[in-house]
Structure 1
């Protein structure tokens, strides 16, 4: 399947890689990005510049929440598929600047939903996060588990977008898939994420902050594995048929939520060890308490995505970290 796809957040980490994947598969891609200064805008501009070298890509810069902007682009482009990735990300930053999460995540998603209502695509796909599982302690996290106790305002806004999208799917018959991403990492990654910060500090001879004294686990998901999952899910349009008792398919709408994770949590200190092996440098460590809004562990139940898409690659943490360090050294010439 290939056609026309509209991708929000196209200069972001995941958006950039998804655009690359779909362009290589023959899709025409229209990207929208607000180029917010939450992290280094030059990195975003470089991603867009690389995408512009490929045939079939066009980019627009503008804020998602601008009234009517997304609708105008969608009505002009008439995409077969919409993939909404743009958001204000970050658990800790949502404590400092909650308003930006209302604007980008709630109002921005509303603008996307309105555009899809006016010009319905064959499939609408929207990014959520594993953070919506919040205080849940039953693991691995399954899509059919209740997720009612979010621990950060970021997670609360993303859970709200799931509910918003469900209502539009029910009211207007929009086939909709929500993704819950689990700690995505890899080349061209976000500077606010642990891997980027750790590598930068270690190469500079600076200490890294280890939260909860290292007693944390994350289901690290390599970027190439994740975008392959997204690409395959494009064709898995929700209908009336469930794939099993683990399917999150709504009983009243063509809507489901799908985990995209590696399905294998990694201890934080093992993650640090992988970085030390890739850089050849032992990290100086500051052991810190748990930060507000954080959870001690994440772990994706991957049964649903594999039932919908078939088996997906699962890059090991040492291989994935090695690839990131090689990219980082090359990009920053260190």
Structure 2
């Protein structure tokens, strides 16, 4: 795959993972078309700052628009004719789905359907798309394997991500569209999402505000550093799509660190990096939350010879350094 001639279409390019992936591909010489609706689910200025970095690359094109706009998507596919589509645009967040369900139906279902229709019409050679560890629901067997059943989602967000996998399977079966699903496990790092724990806890600790600690801190999360995530995606992209010998040409991977960390331990590490103590507000587990996530990454190791290597301690250090610099904190 020649990077200079390969055209990659990234949806959600101003988002956390989308930004890091686009930047890495641009650094490697790929041509990237990015789309993002720049919604206000979280601080828009963060998205704009990410976009400012990307637009400095001559081989990057940005379009503001939504996945629900099929007419716009079809025109972009017709003009750009992408070799590879990496679909990361989605309405994220488990708790937000409890109060704003319609946003998930529009973005995660209709938007995903539109992408598949465009991939079908323009014969896209490989679609990689964001799924989530939340599809495992209340699964008590760990580590979570892609062979496990995932038909009991416990949040609407998880249900839409599972629906994405099912619809992708159907399109792969009916139209031979090669699809690769990416089940992300609690991705964190510089330029992260302010609604996620490491980011929001940092903000609260620095401002000496209390933090809500759900399940009294006994939850475990498979925190996965952003550089490990982008490396895995790029290796899967370069490896090529599921082969024609596989019917349908469909595959799902866990993109996780294979090292669950207890919430209380994560807070302790964060306190060490910030040099400040958290004001803790212990609370019961919230509806839609799962007590533990833990990725089986055997397929990543087997198929792309890759296992994440950045520890939570190192990743946290890098995040805090970025956070202090970005928000001008001495």
- Measure, in 2, the Cα distance between the counterparts of 1:313 and 1:24: 21
Q: Secondary structure at the match of 1:68?
A: helix
**Dislocated runs of 4+, deviation >2 Å:** none
Shift of 1:96: 0.3
Q: Distance in 2 between matches of 1:227 and 1:10?
A: 13
Q: 1:239 aligns with which of 243, 250, 255?
A: 243
Aligned-partner Cα distance in 1 for 2:10–2:30: 11
Q: 1:122 aligns with which of 120, 125, 130?
A: 125
In 1, are the aligned partners of 2:232 and 2:306 still within 8 Å (CA)? no
Q: Give the one of 121, 136, 145 matched to 1:133.
A: 136
| Counterpart among 177, 187, 192 of residue 184 in structure 1 | 187
Equivalent residue, structure 1, for 2:324: 329
Q: For residue 10 of structure 2, what is the aligned residue in structure 1?
A: 7
What is the aligned counterpart of 2:291 among 266, 290, 296?
296
Does structure 2 conserve the Cα–Cα contact (< 8 Å) formed by 1:82 and 1:123? Answer: yes
1:318 aligns with 2:307: no
Query: What displacement does 1:252 show?
Result: 3.5
Cα distance in structure 2, aligned partners of 1:183 and 1:333: 26
Matching residue within 165, 168, 171 for 1:162: 165
Residue deviations 1:103-154 (CA, integer Å, cap 9, x gap): 0000000110011001122211010000000011111000011101001000
Following the alignment from structure 2 to structure 1, what is the Cα–Cα distance between the partners of residues 213 and 83? 44
Number of residue pairs matched by the alignment: 325
Give, in whole Å, the separation in 2 of the partners of 1:161 and 1:20.
Answer: 26
Deviation string 1:67-108 (CA, Å, 9 cap, x unpaired) is 322121111101110000000000000000000000000000
CA distance in 2 between counterparts of 1:146 and 1:252 reads: 20
1:248 is matched with which residue? none
Match status 1:96 vs 2:99: yes
What is the rounded CA distance, in whole Å, between the counterparts of 2:199 and 2:168 in structure 1?
Answer: 32
Residue aligned with 1:160, SS: helix
Structure 2 unpaired stretches of 5+? none
Q: Distance in 1 between matches of 2:182 and 2:10?
A: 14
Alignment of 1:255 onto 2:262? no
Aligned-residue Cα RMSD (Å) equals 1.0
Structure 1 SS opposite 2:20: helix
Per the TM alignment, residue 240 of structure 1 is displaced from its structure 2 partner at its CA by 4.9
The two structures have a TM-score, normalised by structure 1, of 0.96
- Partner SS state of residue 182, structure 2: strand
2: CA distance between counterparts of 1:311 and 1:34? 32
- Please report how far the alpha carbon of residue 274 of structure 1 lies from its aligned counterpart in structure 2 after TM superposition: 1.1
Conservation of the 8 A alpha-carbon contact between 1:68 and 1:111: no
Q: Deviation at 1:312?
A: 3.2
Determine helix, strand or coil for the equivalent of 1:189: coil
Q: Gaps (5+ residues) in structure 1?
A: 242-250
Corresponding position of 2:212: 209
Q: Quote the Cα distance in structure 2 between the aligned partners of 1:51 and 1:119.
A: 26
Q: 1:174, 1:71 → 2: CA distance?
A: 17
2:222 pairs with 1:219: yes
Is the 1:88–1:101 contact (alpha carbons within 8 Å) kept by the matching residues of 2? Answer: yes
Identify the residue that residue 279 of structure 2 maps to in structure 1: 284
